[in-house]
């Protein structure tokens, strides 16, 4: 049996992530590996931390990349912040709120669910009601930007309410970081995790996290050990903490961290607010195109993320066939709906490097062509020019 | 504050890992990112699994890379195989046996320690004694190749004894995989984890694991849920399992998996047994050189790993200064001793791509020169030619 090197096709990645990776970041990833305790590497870690603080808009000392994908970043927040017997209010309006619940119960804690419809933002009133009836709650967890629907919630208000009831907060910012406003210090978020493969347009596999002083104090004063050795921040801090003496914890994913560093350099060069503005503008172009085609958005405009667009599937269209054609004929990946949204929406990402006018125009043109060929009832031939008017 | 791209120096990595990465593998890592549910990517996953089975010498269906470093591979084995209240016999003869104990207790189980001196292999008699006095034990865990000392234990015998007492086994093969004989099926190992950054000479960040039928059955029939959502194999299996329908669990580290795939292609091209022979031969060269220099090895020859050489530090030598000089003047990284071995040994890796005649000769020449300059009592000027005689 012969095995040979794998050469992937060149796709355009406009699903819910991974998004297109900037070639600069791919190149950075292939630089020579050095040791994880090499002083030169440690210097790079320090710079990474500073750039990540800026991306999160925080001065939090405990700000670093977890050496595993976003799901592990989520778990890092929960296993460190939550102890057995705790009560955690989990606001759920999509897949990732449900996953938070899983994390809470696996920590031996009780999850009180605050449910909102998929596609709607978390309702602050419902959170406050839950806090009133659960005075023993210690933590509130919610998703800032739901990757399963593209709905954004009002993180600032939710954190304010949580703090009013003496709860610390855990916030999922996997899809929001670098793509739309996220202000960790201004909003007083306590624990936050994100991913690299969304609006940072880095390769997947790393999860940036940040913890406020209050969160750090809670972690340092736990009554029980963190159930995960790999994710125990009391141990990880010794490697990522300040000072020249770095204690060995685990072997860092060196080359993935080169890529992560480069993605932050790219972000810093563009400027965080310019990145938000670019994401917003490209969303406007995409929206104009889909509206010209006669397709609607699943999420109300007020709570719609520019970087993740849930588009309603027109009646009678074989949505999987459309995605297959886009992938096989156009090398274009868009996302399906997850769970109850399967067959109802497509998820079209405009994240990071993939958030470009070129991609908007290419995607609109391709979808218009394929939908027309499939006999879908759309207003064909107008989408691309409608988008161009936004960009002009 | 200006940030710029990070350009690492070109080091020769002869520490305990990461080892030098084959440039082919670095190049593979920089190929265009595609989606984790892309059929082309799924095809690569299937091929990766088959190649990994060959590397582990197993037909185990549940064989796959965990999306995080070796420490997470270790934890994946423990959190899936062990339940609260279980008794686990942990054989410890170095750092990583101690870490196994940490994993056991964090699973809510009891660890019964079988201690051997650092640098010695695990004593099968001591294991059998512990099993006799702990008839309720369900699992035996041990390190096949101790990265902290370079000692190899007799995995086949240890597994046989464990099975005699109806225990399943968890084996740390982080440093052994691809560098020296490791035969998962022939030795009847139940759960095994390894790393990519040792003898596979891949970048760090992935942990290959494999589970026997007995282990898989135990995991499927657990009485309690796995405490980690990220590492729950019942969930991960749905993504890496057989069949065309792959369930989304977490976003796979796509480019790191390209690198891992390429590392397995490289191994397959060389042949597993040829790789073992190469590691053995380069060890012989290094040994001849150090012996000519008058330096001894910490581990007895019978249980010495060829890929990780613990060399005794000559009296009076400032070992940290030597490592600094090697790093700064020669761009050569060797490893320090960990824990109680700090200041007593250097750890010199000859792993994967770094296991080459060139590296052996370079390392011997550099160490001879620096030690002489430092006034160490060594027999200078003979090491390189002694090694060349082995290679001739």
d(CA B206, CA A205): 10
A263 and A349 inside one domain = no
Using the beta-carbon criterion (under 8 Å), do B35 and A24 form an inter-chain contact?
A: no
- Predicted confidence at residue B2, as pLDDT, reads 84
- Whether residue A360 contacts residue A389, with contact meaning beta carbons closer than 8 Å, is answered with no
B241 and B289 inside one domain = no
Using the beta-carbon criterion (under 8 Å), do B248 and A51 form an inter-chain contact?
A: no
Using the beta-carbon criterion (under 8 Å), do A6 and B225 form an inter-chain contact?
A: no
Q: Which helix (H) or strand (E) holds B87?
A: strand B87-92
Strand pairing class (A207-211; A345-349): unpaired
Q: Residue B319's domain is classified under what CATH number?
A: 3.90.1150.10
- Whether residue B179 contacts residue B279, with contact meaning beta carbons closer than 8 Å, is answered with yes
Neighbour tally for A154: CB within 10 Å: 17
Mean pLDDT, residues B371-385: 97
Q: Residue B243's domain is classified under what CATH number?
A: 3.40.640.10
At B105, give phi and psi (nearest 5°): -70, -35
Concatenating the DSSP letter of every residue in B211-245 gives E-HHHHHHHHT-SS--S-STT-HHHHHHHHSSSS-
- Which chain B residues have a beta carbon less than 8 Å from that of A327? 38-39
- Predicted confidence at residue A323, as pLDDT, reads 98
- Predicted confidence at residue B245, as pLDDT, reads 64
Neighbouring residues of A274: CB distance < 8 A, sequence distance ≥ 6: none
Using the beta-carbon criterion (under 8 Å), do B35 and A18 form an inter-chain contact?
A: yes
- Predicted confidence at residue A244, as pLDDT, reads 53
**Measured at the alpha carbon of residue A338, what is the angle toward residues A332 and A340, in degrees to the nearest 5?**
140
Helix axes B357-373, B319-330, angle to 10 degrees: 120
* Closest to B94 in 3D by CA, of B368, B391, B340, B361: B340
d(CA B44, CA A5): 10
Q: With respect to residue A227, please indicate whether it lies within any of the assigned structural domains.
A: yes
Interchain CB contact of A255 with B (< 8 Å): yes
DSSP A339: G
Residue B160 has pLDDT above 90, yes or no: yes
| Residues comprising chain A, all counted | 392
B191 and B318 inside one domain = no
Residue that is last in its domain, among B244, B269, B294: B269
Q: Which of B72, B225, B264 is opposite residue A68, by nearest beta carbon?
A: B72
Using the beta-carbon criterion (under 8 Å), do B20 and A33 form an inter-chain contact?
A: yes
- Predicted confidence at residue A1, as pLDDT, reads 67
Residue B246 has pLDDT above 90, yes or no: no
**Which of A41, A255, A270 to substitute to test the interface with B, most B CBs within 10 Å?**
A255
A200 and A86 inside one domain = yes
- Which chain A residues have a beta carbon less than 8 Å from that of B44? 6, 8
B291 and B220 inside one domain = no
State yes or no: cis peptide before A18, omega within 30 of 0.
Answer: yes
Q: With respect to residue A162, please indicate whether it lies within any of the assigned structural domains.
A: yes
Residue B119 has pLDDT above 70, yes or no: yes
Q: With respect to residue A329, please indicate whether it lies within any of the assigned structural domains.
A: yes
* Closest to A310 in 3D by CA, of A291, A297, A300: A297
Mean pLDDT, residues B260-286: 98
Question: CA dist B122 to A225, B92, B125, B305, Å?
Answer: 29, 7, 9, 14
Q: Which of A72, A79, A262 is opposite residue B68, by nearest beta carbon?
A: A72
Residue B128 has pLDDT above 90, yes or no: yes
Residue that is last in its domain, among A248, A269, A290: A269
- Which chain B residues have a beta carbon less than 8 Å from that of A249? 71
Question: Across chain A, which distance is largest between two alpha carbons, in Å?
Answer: 65
A184 and A53 inside one domain = yes
B328 and B357 inside one domain = yes
d(CA A180, CA A98): 23
Interchain CB contact of A244 with B (< 8 Å): no
Tens of pLDDT, residues A292-304? 999 999 999 999 9
A238 and A203 inside one domain = yes
For chain A positions 121-180, those within 8 Å of chain B (CB to CB) are: none
Q: Which helix (H) or strand (E) holds B389?
A: helix B383-391
Tally of domains within chain B: 2
For chain B positions 16-35, those within 8 Å of chain A (CB to CB) are: 17-18, 20-21, 24, 26-35
- Which chain B residues have a beta carbon less than 8 Å from that of A254? 18, 203-205
B329 and B367 inside one domain = yes
Q: With respect to residue A16, please indicate whether it lies within any of the assigned structural domains.
A: no
d(CA B62, CA A280): 44
B357 and B262 inside one domain = no
Residue B172 has pLDDT above 70, yes or no: yes
Q: With respect to residue A10, please indicate whether it lies within any of the assigned structural domains.
A: no
ipTM of predicted complex: 0.96
d(CA A103, CA A371): 40
Residue that is last in its domain, among A222, A245, A269: A269
Q: Which helix (H) or strand (E) holds A143?
A: strand A139-143
Neighbouring residues of B126: CB distance < 8 A, sequence distance ≥ 6: B91, B114, B115, B116
Interchain CB contact of A222 with B (< 8 Å): no
A254 and A281 inside one domain = no
Distance from CA of A40 to the nearest CA of B (A): 7
Distance from CA of A204 to the nearest CA of B (A): 5
Distance from CA of A50 to the nearest CA of B (A): 10
Q: Which of A30, A39, A256 is opposite residue B27, by nearest beta carbon?
A: A30
- Predicted confidence at residue A318, as pLDDT, reads 97
Flag residues of chain A having pLDDT under 70.
Answer: 1, 242-245
Q: With respect to residue B3, please indicate whether it lies within any of the assigned structural domains.
A: no
d(CA A197, CA A162): 29
**Measured at the alpha carbon of residue A328, what is the angle toward residues A326 and A333, in degrees to the nearest 5?**
45
- In chain A, the residue whose alpha carbon lies closest to the alpha carbon of B67 is A68
Q: With respect to residue B15, please indicate whether it lies within any of the assigned structural domains.
A: no
For chain B positions 40-69, those within 8 Å of chain A (CB to CB) are: 40-41, 44, 47, 50-51, 67-69
Using the beta-carbon criterion (under 8 Å), do B35 and A27 form an inter-chain contact?
A: no
- Predicted confidence at residue A204, as pLDDT, reads 96
Distance from CA of B203 to the nearest CA of A (A): 7
Q: With respect to residue B218, please indicate whether it lies within any of the assigned structural domains.
A: yes
Q: Percent of chain B having pLDDT more than 90?
A: 95
Provide the residue range defining the domain that includes B202.
24-269
Using the beta-carbon criterion (under 8 Å), do A1 and B50 form an inter-chain contact?
A: yes
Using the beta-carbon criterion (under 8 Å), do A228 and B26 form an inter-chain contact?
A: no
Q: Percent of chain B having pLDDT more than 70?
A: 98
B124 and B258 inside one domain = yes
- Which chain A residues have a beta carbon less than 8 Å from that of B250? 69-72
């Amino acid at each position: 049996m012969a095995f040979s090197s794998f050469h992937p096709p060149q796709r355009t990645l406009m699903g819910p992530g991974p998004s297109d990776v900037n070639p600069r970041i791919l190149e950075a990833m292939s630089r020579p590996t050095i040791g994880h305790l090499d002083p030169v590497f440690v210097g790079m870690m320090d710079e990474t931390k500073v750039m990540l603080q800026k991306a999160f808009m925080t001065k939090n000392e405990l700000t670093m990349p977890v050496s595993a994908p976003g799901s592990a970043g989520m778990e890092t927040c929960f296993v460190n912040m939550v102890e057995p017997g705790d009560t955690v209010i989990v606001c759920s309006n999509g897949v990732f709120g449900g996953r938070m619940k899983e994390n809470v119960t696996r920590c031996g804690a009780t999850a009180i669910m605050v449910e909102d419809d998929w596609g709607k933002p978390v309702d602050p009133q419902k959170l406050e009601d839950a806090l009133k009836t659960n005075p023993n709650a210690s933590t509130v967890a919610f998703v800032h930007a739901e990757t399963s629907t593209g709905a954004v919630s009002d993180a600032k208000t939710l954190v304010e309410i949580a703090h009013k009831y003496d709860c610390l907060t855990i916030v999922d910012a996997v899809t929001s970081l670098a793509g739309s406003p996220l202000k960790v210090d201004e909003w007083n978020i306590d624990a936050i995790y994100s991913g690299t493969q969304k609006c940072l347009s880095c390769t997947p596999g790393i999860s940036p996290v940040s913890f406020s002083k209050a969160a750090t104090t809670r972690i340092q004063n736990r009554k029980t050990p963190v159930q995960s050795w790999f994710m125990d921040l009391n141990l990880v801090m010794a490697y990522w903490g300040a000072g020249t003496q770095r204690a060995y914890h685990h072997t860092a994913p060196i080359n993935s961290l080169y890529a992560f560093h480069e993605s932050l350099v790219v972000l810093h060069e563009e400027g965080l607010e310019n990145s938000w503005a670019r994401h917003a503008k490209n969303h406007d172009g995409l929206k104009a195109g889909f509206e010209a085609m006669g397709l609607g958005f699943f999420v109300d405009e007020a709570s719609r993320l520019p970087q993740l667009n849930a588009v309603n599937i027109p009646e009678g269209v074989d949505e999987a066939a459309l995605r297959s054609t886009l992938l096989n004929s156009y090398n274009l990946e868009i996302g399906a709906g997850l769970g109850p949204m399967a067959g109802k929406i497509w998820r079209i990402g405009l994240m990071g490097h993939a958030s470009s006018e070129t991609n908007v125009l290419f995607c609109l043109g391709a979808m218009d062509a394929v939908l027309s060929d499939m006999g879908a009832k759309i207003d064909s031939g107008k989408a691309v020019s409608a988008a161009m008017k936004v960009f002009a």
